[in-house]
């Protein structure tokens, strides 16, 4: 995350006051292995919300708490998951293992919604090899092509920091890259702003093209004209309303 963001989007999101959850669930012994719950307890599907921050420990789930609370206000139970991140016990594969553990801990149907690096993690859950498949995945401005993100040097080498240096780089990249782990039977919708300066929309286009070439399930890509990186997760924006409508159509 860097800069002011298109049209002050970053400032608008990070200027919102955090919202405390209704309850918190631990899914492991590490302090970051927790899930904040918003909305009434129910037996139906829950929105598993995965935050971004290029997998780095400097960014936690707090900035998505207003989004979690707003979705809950609209009748969607939300589970805002934290996970171990690079620089604080995370990185590949531990970060992804935390996400699958969080899905299992909820013990109910999941609609996985991830933003930016969280969108990358959500897309990995679409792979038929994923141990716990969500009912649906909505990825917001995801880092959908890890190899290309590395080539672009996004966020000062965030991909290399996430995957780690040393032997086995190619294997780790292949295991962690959504374009190498394309959707099985899980429906995937990608919402990506055309003015995104943090994660270019071309990454999502490349992900969809890879799925088309593979001949399997093709994700739905909805490009949002004039939208940057942060508006989809900021309550009150037009991009947020698109997200809300998408989740309600499930």
The string of pLDDT tens digits covering residues 170-201 is 999 999 999 999 998 899 999 999 999 999 99
Residue 97 scores a pLDDT above 90: yes
pTM of the model: 0.95
| Average pLDDT of span 221-233 | 97
Token couple for 129? 């090899």
Residue 4 scores a pLDDT above 60: no
**pLDDT at position 7:** 55
Chain-wide mean pLDDT for the chain?
94
Token couple for 215? 């001949």
Residue 109 scores a pLDDT above 90: yes
**pLDDT at position 2:** 41
Kindly compute the dihedral angle of the four CA atoms of residues 72, 73, 74, 79, in this order, to the nearest 10 degrees.
0
Which uninterrupted H or E stretch holds 50?
Answer: strand 46-50
- How many Å apart are CA 16 and CA 13, to the nearest integer? 6
**pLDDT at position 216:** 81
CB of 21 within 8 A of CB of 68? yes
Q: Are strands 136-140 and 78-81 parallel, antiparallel or unpaired?
A: unpaired
Lowest-confidence range among 59-68, 113-122, 181-190, 198-207? 181-190
CB of 232 within 8 A of CB of 193? yes
| Average pLDDT of span 146-163 | 97
- How many Å apart are CA 59 and CA 155, to the nearest integer? 13
Which among 237, 250, 218, 246 has a CA at the least distance from the CA of 8?
A: 237
pLDDT band at 127 (very low <50, low <70, confident <90, very high): confident
For residue 228, give the 3-state DSSP assignment. coil
For residue 222, give the 3-state DSSP assignment. strand
Answer yes or no: CATH 3.30.1330.200 is held by domain 6-248: no
Residue 76 scores a pLDDT above 50: yes
Q: Are strands 46-50 and 78-81 parallel, antiparallel or unpaired?
A: parallel
Residue 6 scores a pLDDT above 80: no
| Average pLDDT of span 103-118 | 96
Residue 89 scores a pLDDT above 90: yes
């Amino acid at each position: 995350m860097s800069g002011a963001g298109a049209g002050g989007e970053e400032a608008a999101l990070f200027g919102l006051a955090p919202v405390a959850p209704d309850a918190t669930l631990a899914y492991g012994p590490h302090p970051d292995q927790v899930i904040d719950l918003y909305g009434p307890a129910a037996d139906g599907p829950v929105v598993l919300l995965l935050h971004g921050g290029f997998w780095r420990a400097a960014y936690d789930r707090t900035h998505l708490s207003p989004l979690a609370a707003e979705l809950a206000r609209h009748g969607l139970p939300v589970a805002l998951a934290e996970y171990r991140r690079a620089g604080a016990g995370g990185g590949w594969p531990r970060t992804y293992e935390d996400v699958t553990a969080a899905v299992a801990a909820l013990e109910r149907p999941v609609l996985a919604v991830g933003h930016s690096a969280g969108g990358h993690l959500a897309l990995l859950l679409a792979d038929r090899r994923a141990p716990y498949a969500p009912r649906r995945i909505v990825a917001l401005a995801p880092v959908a092509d890890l190899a290309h993100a590395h080539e672009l040097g996004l966020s000062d080498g965030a991909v290399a920091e996430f995957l780690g240096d040393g032997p086995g780089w190619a294997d780790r990249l292949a295991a962690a890259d959504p374009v190498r782990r394309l959707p099985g039977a899980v429906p995937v919708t990608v919402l990506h702003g055309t003015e995104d300066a943090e994660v270019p929309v071309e990454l999502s286009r490349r992900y969809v093209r890879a799925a088309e070439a593979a001949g399997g399930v093709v994700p739905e890509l909805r490009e949002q004209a004039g939208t940057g990186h942060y508006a989809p997760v900021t309550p009150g924006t037009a991009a947020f309303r698109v997200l809300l409508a998408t989740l309600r159509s499930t």
